Amino acid sequence: MKRRTGTILVTALAVAAAAFFALPASAETAAFSVQSSWSNGYQAQVTVTNDRPTAISTWTVQLTLPAGTTIGQSWNSTLATSGSTYTFTPAGWNASIPAGGTTSFGFIATGTGRPTACLVNGQACSGGTTPSPSPSAPSPSPGGTPVQVNGQLKVCGTKLCNESGQAVQLKGMSTHGIQWFPSCYTGTALDWLAGDWNADLFRISMYVQEDGYETDPAGFTAKVNALVEEATARGMYALIDFHILTPGDPAFNLERAKTFFAQVSARHAAKKNVLYEIANEPNGVSWAQIKNYADQVIPVIRGNDPDGVVIVGTRGWSSLGVSEGGNSAEIVINPVSAGNVMYAFHFYAASHKDNYRAEVERAAASLPLFVTEFGTVTYTGDGAVDTASTTAWLDLLDRLKIGYANWTFSDASEGSAALKPGTCAAGAFGGTSVLTESGALLRNRLRA
């Protein structure tokens, strides 16, 4: 991102009406957008963007509302109220913003009044209000964004279908662990992913162990919610991944899963773009144990979101059992006790080849499958890109109309990363020079 001024820019991800406080070019600015509204209130969002060449360690946004309008609920921020002035400071995890990076917060207002004044890190924002689109959200393509085109998804037979009942294939990228690479998932990064890569899908990978959710449930839930909002603003589908890996028995995290999915499904139930992946890679357990877990977690989601598509991990690191000597027959004869459900399959192209492809082809005749994670390298996530096997896999998935998310949209020092090391810290989200071999392959495939 090129530096325009040494300022902090607060922008909004406009979905509905927006108000813009016009100021001199050298001053800090604030833009405000309404994401949804009703007769006596509205939901709004503000995104803080650090346009400086160096990171900032904290931020403060103050909004003044007219009489009769109040704010009672906010997220991804700490809210303090003094009369008609509302001060938003970081929730903790989102205090530091790298150069070119962003963070977002939102709130619910009771009343219809829009902000009449704004302060950003102590600098006044004032002036008239005029409609303004978000400078950070890309313009929809002529046919509309993926969500505008397809609406609420559903499972029909063995396929994922759109609102009109037509089979669709979502294609996109997965985050790495959001605890390790936060600077890779800024507004600018998602603009690039949606607008340049043409990604339909953004998988949000929230590790449960490995310094993940179990260390700070509220903080990680807030991070996931923020990324769902970012994907929503760009018209992408958001896949919430409850990333269990070690231990491989999902029952170990059953109560955590119930708590987490109760909260995120309640938050996003009204959205049309959210899918739920309830167990990333079960391993060392039977399909019966995985099914028992799913049969307990899915009703929690359904209690809030009766329409959301749920994806269930399969035996053997989501290999349909192949990596543990099994196959998909065990699922076919004993499916999950719920509708609108798909089954996960994962592969790493340099390690998993013809026998895995044959099982996917066989299973796809009976089961709705979604490749929620795959890599172009070995199962370790590292090593050389296997272009031939990756191409064979993607050709198969395209032919069978099976959606996929690539591991990973990150700058990790490993072969599966799409971005070269240092890309995210630099905020260098654009062009092709920052792409790894894997990233270039996936970007070309998504754009095609």
Tell me how far apart the alpha carbons of residues 218 and 67 are, in angstroms, rounded to a whole number: 33
Name the one residue in this structure whose structure tokens are 């989601």.
301
Q: Which of 28, 229, 330, 373 is catalytic?
A: 373
Q: Where are the alpha helices (DSSP H) in 217-332?
A: 217-233, 254-268, 287-302, 315-318, 329-332
Distances in whole angstroms, Cα of residue 320 to Cα of each of 251, 300, 381: 18, 24, 19
Number of Cβ within a 10 Å radius of residue 56: 17
Q: Is 373 a catalytic residue?
A: yes
Tell me how far apart the alpha carbons of residues 303 and 296 are, in angstroms, rounded to a whole number: 12
Q: Is 437 a catalytic residue?
A: no
Contact indicator for 202, 231 with CB cutoff of 8 Å: yes
Tell me how far apart the alpha carbons of residues 197 and 439 are, in angstroms, rounded to a whole number: 10
Tell me how far apart the alpha carbons of residues 313 and 291 are, in angstroms, rounded to a whole number: 9
Write the single-letter amino acid at 411.
D
Q: What residues have CB less than 8 Å from 431, skipping those under 6 apart? A: none
Contact indicator for 81, 135 with CB cutoff of 8 Å: no
Tell me how far apart the alpha carbons of residues 126 and 284 are, in angstroms, rounded to a whole number: 60
Q: At what angle do helices 187-195 and 217-233 cross, to 10 degrees?
A: 40
Q: Which of 229, 230, 277, 281 is catalytic?
A: 281
Tell me how far apart the alpha carbons of residues 309 and 302 are, in angstroms, rounded to a whole number: 10
Q: φ, ψ for residue 216 (rounded to 5)?
A: -165, 75
Which helix (H) or strand (E) segment holds residue 194: the answer is: helix 187-195
Residue 345 pairs with which residues in a beta bridge? Answer: none
The burial class, CB within 10 Å (0-12 / 13-18 / 19+), for 395 is exposed
Element counts in the chain: helices (H) and strands (E)? 11, 22
Contact indicator for 183, 98 with CB cutoff of 8 Å: yes
Tell me how far apart the alpha carbons of residues 364 and 401 are, in angstroms, rounded to a whole number: 10
Residues assigned a catalytic role: 281, 373
